[in-house]
Amino acid sequence: MTDRIGLEEARELWVNASDEELKRLAQGVRARWHQPDRATYMVMRIINYTNVCVAQCDYCAFYVLPNQDGGYVLSREDVFAKIDELVEFGGDLVAFNGGFNPRLPLDYYCDLFASVRERYGDRVEFYALTIAEFVFLADRAGLSYADAAARLRDAGVHWVTGGGSEILTEDFRARHAKWKYTVADYFEAQRAIVESGMKTTATMVIGFDETLEERLEHLQRTRDFQDETGGLFSFLCWTYKPYGTAFGGREIVAREYWRHIALSRIFLDNIPHIRTSVLTQNEDAFRALDYGADDFDLPIEDEVTQKAGATIDLDLEGLLAIPRALGYRVEYRRAERPAALAS
């Protein structure tokens, strides 16, 4: 095999390679970036600041429409209380994730993020929004992505993560999320984030009705973007939770997830970190370390996936015992301030 595999080789590996072969190849790429027996983790909380959303993705069990009962927007005090609780758990990373709420102006976000930065400084890092939410609020504000990114950066934001990508093909979005922006929008916005000096990540969700070709297209687009920008710190893949969603369906088995992590590690040879999802795979997530992953979160809350059937174990030491038993040295990793925004 050449150093970098193409789509045809990826297809061939997925269809014909044994688990052992995939593991061996993935571990080879992993070893270019990381010590083979070391894994890193973070303790984090996803703060769902609003559940009001107009996107109506059919795989989502979280949202309510603007005029339906049950919608909420968290106050600044609610957010601070959640962050304080995270700090008590020993965590220092927050990921803000909500819906496309047409009643929240850009100022709401800038004020919230500036107040979090002011109160916690660099003791707590936060992922402000996903790319999908960023696209929505930039459009609502009538700003270019570059101008919207500058507003967030000036409010103290360091990271806008690659969430909201699910499967990055236009067909997939037309089938399931036609008001969630196109793939072209997604990458244009993410490029603006990178060019603003903020950091970003790549994500992917598998287990809907996506084809192998769609999974490969997602990986190819992600690798191309990284070749062009170098802005992706990590790639996190999680699995679809179908409970309570309009689309429904069934969960994929853990082995399929592990094999996909291996294929991702092999294909995305230009992204430093491959992250495995404890949030959606629970204890099975740790086996993905053998398939090329090197990093994971221990989340203490995420209403979006919990509404769709995810369960969260707060016995963090009990969870860490699992990768240790698999032979890994696990070390806590702090989210870093991007070099371009060094104070």
Instruction: Locate all alpha helices (DSSP H) within 121-182, ordered by sequence.
Output: 131-141, 145-154, 170-176
State which of positions 72-131 bind ligand SF4 (CB under 6 A).
99-100
> Whose structure tokens read 């291996």?
262
Q: Which of 27, 56, 115, 282 binds ligand SF4 (CB under 6 A)?
A: 56
Any idea which residue has 């500058």 for tokens?
150
Among 44, 60, 148, 219, binds ligand SF4 (CB under 6 A): 60
Q: Which of 287, 290, 166, 306 is nearest to 238 (CA)?
A: 166
Question: 96: closest CA among 85, 118, 107, 112?
Answer: 112
Any contact of residue 57 with ligand SF4 (CB under 6 A)? yes
List binders of ligand SF4 among 144-203 (CB under 6 A). Answer: 177, 180
**Angle (deg, nearest 10), helices 106-120 and 76-88:** 40
CB of 129 to ligand SF4, least distance (A): 11
Q: Coil, helix or strand for 216?
A: helix
Q: How far is the CB of 268 from ligand SF4 (least distance, A)?
A: 23
DSSP string, 2-31: -SS--HHHHHHHHHH--HHHHHHHHHHHHH
Nearer to ligand SF4, 53 or 192 (CB): 53
- Distance, CA of 300 to CA of 85 (rounded, Å): 10
Binder to ligand SF4 among 49, 62, 96, 258 (CB under 6 A)? 62
318/320 Cα distance (integer angstroms): 6
Query: By C-beta, is 175 or 337 nearer to ligand SF4?
Result: 175
User: Which residues from 231-290 bind ligand SF4, rule CB under 6 A?
Assistant: none
For ligand SF4, give the closer residue by CB, 47 or 60. 60
User: Which residue among 53, 206, 268, 289 contacts ligand SF4 (CB under 6 A)?
Assistant: 53
| C-beta closer to ligand SF4: residue 98 or 231 | 98
**Is residue 55 involved in binding ligand SF4 (CB under 6 A)?**
yes
H helix runs in the chain, sequence order = 7-16, 19-33, 76-88, 106-120, 131-141, 145-154, 170-176, 183-195, 212-229, 254-267, 278-281, 303-307, 316-325
Contact segment (CB under 6 A) with ligand SF4 among 34-42, 59-67, 119-127, 150-158 equals 59-67
CB of 136 to ligand SF4, least distance (A): 8
| Total residue count of the chain as it appears in this document | 343
Least distance in angstroms from the C-beta of 255 to ligand SF4:
26
Residue with smaller CB distance to ligand SF4, 129 or 219: 129
Residue among 62 and 145 whose Cβ is closer to ligand SF4:
62
Nearer CB in complex with ligand SF4: 74/268: 74
Q: How far is the CB of 325 from ligand SF4 (least distance, A)?
A: 35
Calpha distance 244→306 (Å, rounded):
10
Query: What is the amino acid identity at position 66?
Result: P
40 or 56: CB nearest ligand SF4: 56
43 membership: H or E segment, kind and range = strand 38-47
337 CB-near residues (< 8 Å, 6+ apart): 122, 125, 158, 343
CA–CA gap between residue 273 and residue 232 (Å, rounded):
9
Which of 45/287 has CB closer to ligand SF4?
A: 45
**Min CB(125)–ligand SF4 separation in Å:** 22
Segment interacting with ligand SF4, rule: CB under 6 A, options 52-60, 150-158, 204-212, 313-321: 52-60
Interface residues toward ligand SF4, by CB under 6 A: 53, 55-57, 60, 62-63, 99-100, 132, 177, 180
